[in-house]
Structure 1
Amino acid sequence: MRNYYGLLMAGLAGLLLSQSVKAQLGNVDSSARYLKTHAPVDTAYVRAMDPVIIDMIYKKSEYARADSMSKQMIDLATRLRDWNGVIRGYRSKTILNLMSANYEQSIANSKKALEIADQHNMPPVIIGGLLSNMAAGYDRMGNAPMVFQTALRAIQLQEKHDFRPRSPVVYRLIGGALVKMGKKEQALPYYQKAGVLFRELGDPRGIAIFENQLGELYNTLNQPQQAMPHLRESLKLAEQLKFDMLQFDVFDGMATSLRLLNKPDEGLEYARRSLAIAEKQQNKLAVCHVYGTIASLYQTQKDYVQAETYLKKAMTLAEDNDYKDDRKKLTQQMADLYGVQNKYQLAYTFQLEKNRQVDSAIAIRTNAELQRMVAQYETEKKEARIKLLQRETQLLQQAKRLDQEEARQVRWQRNAGLIGGLLLLLLGGAVSAWLLNRSKVQRLEESQRLRQRIAHDLHDEVGSTLSSISLLSGHTDKLLSENRPETAQRMVQKIYVDARQILESIDEIIWTINPGNDSLQRIVMRLQEYAQPLMESKQIAFTFSVDPSLEQLPVSMEVRRNLYLIGKEAINNLIKYSEATLATMRFERRGDQFAVLLEDNGRGFDTNQLSSRTGQQSMQQRAIAMGGTLTVQSTPGQGTRLELTAATL
C-alpha cells in the first residue's frame, strides 16, 4: 500500500523549524490578507508566505500554486539574505517533490537547505527537520539503508539537544526502513515511540496520519485484524479534518486488510471509494496505485480477466508517467498473476522484466557515482597543474630579481652575475620539469592503483555472482520448458537474492573508495548502523562509544577499507557464534594511534585452534596491510575480546 498522505510526514517535521502545524495553519487568513495589501519587499512578506503555502499543500491540494509561490519565496528570501526563509521555501518544495514522486529532486532540495543551514550556523532543530525531510525522500526511493542512516542522525541531534517538541517522524521512518530490510518485528518499538510523540504533540493531523501508517505496518506484517482498528481511527479523524487524500489512503488500506482476511467483495467497495477520491483529485499516481489494489482483489476472487484488465490500466499509467517504483511493483504483480494461472511463459517474461528493472536501477546508481569520482579526479589533476605553473613562475621571478641585482654590481662582477642568473634559470626550469613529471607519474600510479582496486573488488564481489545469475537464468528457461514451475520459481528467487547481494557489494565498494568518507567519523557511523540492527535481532544489549577527539581524524582509503572489513567480519562472528547477551564496541585514541575494541560475554573459544570459519587469518592479514596489529583474547566460557590498533594515516 502506498501511503500518500504519509509523504507529508516530513513536512510536519519541517514545520517545527519555526512553530507547530496548528499554529501555521491557524494564521492563514491574516497572512493571506497581508500578502494582498503589502509589496514583496521585506522579511515580513516572506514570513507571511509560509503559512499560505502550507495551507495550499495540506488543506486545498493546490500543488501547482504552492510550487510557484515556493519559488517566489526562495528568490525573495535570497535577495533579502533571509536564510531561514530560504530554508522554509526549500522545505515546501521538498514536500511537493515527494507528492509528485520526484524523489531525487526532493533529496536535492533537502541538501541545498542543509548546505545553507550549515553555512549560516542555523540551530540544530532546523538541521534535524531537514534531515527528516531528506530521510523521507530516501524512504520513497526505497533506499532503506540511507533512510536508517539519515533518520538516525536526526534522532541523535534531537536527543543530544533535547528538542521540545520532539519529532515523531524520524522514529516512524526508521521503523519503515527496518520493515523494508526484512526486520519487521524490530520496527514495532520505533512505531510505538512515534505514536507516543504524536499524541504528546496533540496534533490531530499527525495522529490521523500515524494511525494510518500503523495500520499499513500491520498489513505488511500480515496482521490485518490488528490493522483495522488503527485504520478506522485514522478514517474518523480524516473525515473530521476533511483530508481527502488521507481518506484515499485509509480506504486503500482497508481494501488491503479485507483482501488479507479473504473478504475481497467487501474490499472492492473500499477500493472503489478510494478510486473515486483519486479521480476527483485528478491524481494519476494515486489512480495508478488503486488500479493495482483492485487487480489484487479480483485475483483473490479468481476473476483473472478483471485482474488483468486493471493491471494493464495501471501499467499504462505507470509507463506513460514514468512511475518507476509502481512499474516495478506492477511488473511483479503481473508475473504473479500469470503464475497462478499456470501461464508460465508469460510469468517468466514479466519476472525477467522485473529483474531487468532492478539491474537497471543498480547500474544507474553505480554509473552516477563513478562519473562523480572521475570528475573529482580530473579536477584534482587541474589543480595540481595550476600549482606547478605557479611554482615555475615564482622561480622565474626569483631568477629575474637576481639578474637585476647582479646588474647593479661592478663591471668585473657583471659577467659572473649573468652566468649565475642563467644557471639559476636553467636549474629552475629543470626542477620545474622534474616536479611536473614526478607529479604526473604519481597521479598515474594512483589512478592505476585505484582502477586495479575497483577491478579486483568488482571481480571478487560481483563477478562470481553475475556468473551464477547467468547460469540460473538459463536453467530457469529449461525448467519452464520442462513444465517444472515450482523449481523454476525457486531459481527465480535465488536470482533475486543474488541481485540484492550484488547491490550491497557495489554499495560497499563505492562507499570504500569515496574520498568523502576519509574520516573515522564516517567509518564509526557505518559500523554502528551495520551492528545495531544485527545486535537487536539477537537480543544482545549493545553499547557503542567513540572518543570525541577521533571523529574528525582523517584516514586513508586503504586504512578505511581494511578497518571497515575487519569490523564487519568481527561483528558477524559475534552474532553467529558467540551466543552473547552483552557486547561493547569502543573507539579510543592512544597518542597518534587509534584502537578499536569489541568485547562480549559469550561462550568464547580456544584461540590456539584457528578456524577459517571465523576469518581470523583474513582479519590478521588486513590488519597488517593497514600497518596495524590485531589481538584476539578468548577463553571457552569467558567471552571474547578483540583489539585492533593502527595509525590514522
Structure 2
Amino acid sequence: MKSKYLLPLIAVFFISLIGCDKKAHLKKLPENSDSLQILFDLANDDKIVFSKRHQYAEKILSTISKNDNDSLTRVNYFKVANRFFNMNALEDYKSTVELIIPKANEARDTLSLAKADEYLGDYFGKKFHSEKAYSYYFDAEQLYSAKKEYAKTAKVVINKAIIQLNEKDFVGSEKSVFKALKLLQKENDEDLRYQGTNILGIIYDELAEYSKSIEYYEKALQIASTGNVSRSMQAKATTLNNLGALYQKKHKYKEALEYFNQSFQQENLYADNPLLFGNLKYNIGYSMFKLNDFSKLPKLYYAALKIADSLKFAPDIIACNLNLSEFYLEKSDTLKARDFATKAYLLAKENRIPKDILTSLKQMSLSDPKRKSDYSEQYIKIADSLQLAERQVRNKLGRIEYETDQLATDKANLVEQRKTLTYIVLGIILIGAFIFVIRTQAAKNRELRLVQEQQKANEEIYRLMITQQQQRDEGRQLEKKRIARELHDGVMGQLTAIRLNLFALRRKQDQETIQHALTFIDRIQDVEKEIRSIAYNLDSPLSGHTDFSEVIQTIFSGLEQHSGIRFYLETEDFVDWDSVLIETKVQLYRILQEALQNIVKYAQADKVVVHLGKQGTMIRIVVEDNGIGFDTNQIRKGLGLKNMQERALELGGMMKVQSAPGKGTKLEFLLPTRPVL
C-alpha cells in the first residue's frame, strides 16, 4: 500500500501533541488547602486507574464550584480541565471549560477568556471539527493579541496553521506559520519556534517542494538539538519521523527506515509520547514491507495497533488496520485483508475522516474484487464530495477571519457612529443649555429692570408722600394761622371786651352794674360756641353728618398707595353715625389709624380686613391681618398697642389682642357710642 496517507496523519498527530503539551507545561499554584492539592496529584497520576482519577477530578470540580469567582478559582478550573484532557475525558474537559467562560466574563478576565477559547479549539481539533477549532483559535488569537501576549498568540496561530494544513490550505498554513515566527521574535520560546519550523517542513513536503521541506526539517532539528526545547516534546524524534515519511513518500524506503530508526532510538520516547512511539512502529513496519522484509511483520503492525487502541486515537487505528489489510492481501489472505479494510472504513466513517474513508474504500476494492465496481462508485462520489468539501472548508476558514475582521470594522464604524451621535447629543444639550442660560439671564435682566422700575416708582411714591406731607404741613401752617387769626380777631377780641366790661364790678357793684355785667357773661357762651365751631372745623372729616365707613375707606386709600397692602371693609350691622358724639368718632379714628399703621410697619401682611358693626349698644371694630403675627406672652406691648388700649379705656371700652407666630394678628375693640362719664 502507498504511504502518501501518512503525512496528513503526522499533521493530525502534531495537533494532538500540542494539545497534550498541557501536562508538560502545567504550573503548580498555591491551593486553598493541602487536601485539594493531593486530589490534583491523584487525578494526574497515570498509575491510578481511569475511573478513580476521574472521580478525583469530579471531586475537585465540586469543591471549587463552591468558591468565590476569584483568579485562583479560575486557575483551578483550568487545572481540572487539564486533568480531564490528559485522561482523554474530552466531554468533561469541554463542559469544564464552558463553566469558566461566564466566570471570566463576569470578572472581565480577558486572558482567561482567551485561554478558554484556546482550550475549546483543542477540543474541536481532537474531534476533527476544523471550522469550529479554527474559529476558537482565531478568537483566542484576537484576545491574546489585544493583551500583547506574543508567545500565547503565536501558539494559537500555529494551531490555526495545523488546521489549515489538514484542510490542504497550504498557502494559508504557510502564512500563519510565518506570522507566528514573526511574533516569536519578541519572545524567547524555543518550543514554539521549533513547532513552526517543523510545520513548514510538512507544508513544503505536501507541496512536493522536497528540498525546501528538508531544509526546514534540518532547521527544526538544529533547534531541537540546542537543548532549549522541552524534552517531553520529543522534538527530535518527531522531525526524524517526518523526514522518514518524506523519503517514504519518495519511495526511498532505506533512507526512510534510517530516519525512523533514529527517531525510535530517542530516550524516554514511549513515556513522553506513546502516540509517536506507535506511529514509528507501523512506519518502520511499512518501510520493511516495501523492502520485502517481513521478518518483523505483522508483529510491528499489531504492536502499533495496540498502542493506538489504548490511546483511542482513530487516525492511527485506521492506519494500522490498512497496513494489516495490505500485508494480508500480499499474503493472499483476502478474508483478513477485507476484514481489516472494513474495520478501517467503518472507523473512518464513524469519525467523519473523509480522506481515510477514501483510502479504506480503495483497499476494500483491492481485497474484494467482486465488489470492486461498487467500491469504485462510492470512491468516486466521496472523492468528488471530498474535493468540494475541502474547498468549502478552506473557503470557510478564510471567511472566518474575513467576517471577524468585517465585524471588527462594523464595530469600529458603530463606535464612530455612537461617538458622532454622542457629539450631536452633547451639542444639542450645550445649545439647549446656552439658550437656557440666555433666557435665564434675560429673565434676570427683566426682573432687574422691574426691580429698578419698582425702585423708581417707590422713589416717586416717596417723593409724592414727602410732597403731600409738605402740602399737609403747609396746610396745617395755614390752618394754624387761620385759627390764630380767628382766635385773635374773634375770640380774643370778644374776651378782651368782656374782661374790660367785667372789670367795672371791681369799682361798683350796684344793681345796674351787675345787670350790665350779666349781659357780657351771656356773651361768654357765644365765645364758647365760637371756639367749639373752630374745633369742629378742625375735625371736618369727622363731622356729625359724616359716614364713618367713608372715613375708613379714605384711610385705606392713603395706606394702599405706599404699602402695597390690600384693605377690605366689612360692615355687619348699620351704625347711626349721626348719633355718635364727635369726640367718640375722633377716638375711633385715632385707634383705627394707629392699628393700621402698626400693620404696615411690622406685620409683613398683604391683606387686612376691617369688620365694622355693633354688639348690643357697643360699636364693634375688628382689625385682622395675615402677617407674621407674634407671641402675645413673650413680646411686651409697644407704644402703639398701649395708646390704642388707653384710648379705648378713655371711652369706657376695651381692646382684645389675638396673635401667634405665623398666624397673623386680630385686634378687637368694643366701644360705647358715647363716652362713659
- After TM superposition, the score normalised by the length of structure 1 is 0.50
Larger radius of gyration: 2
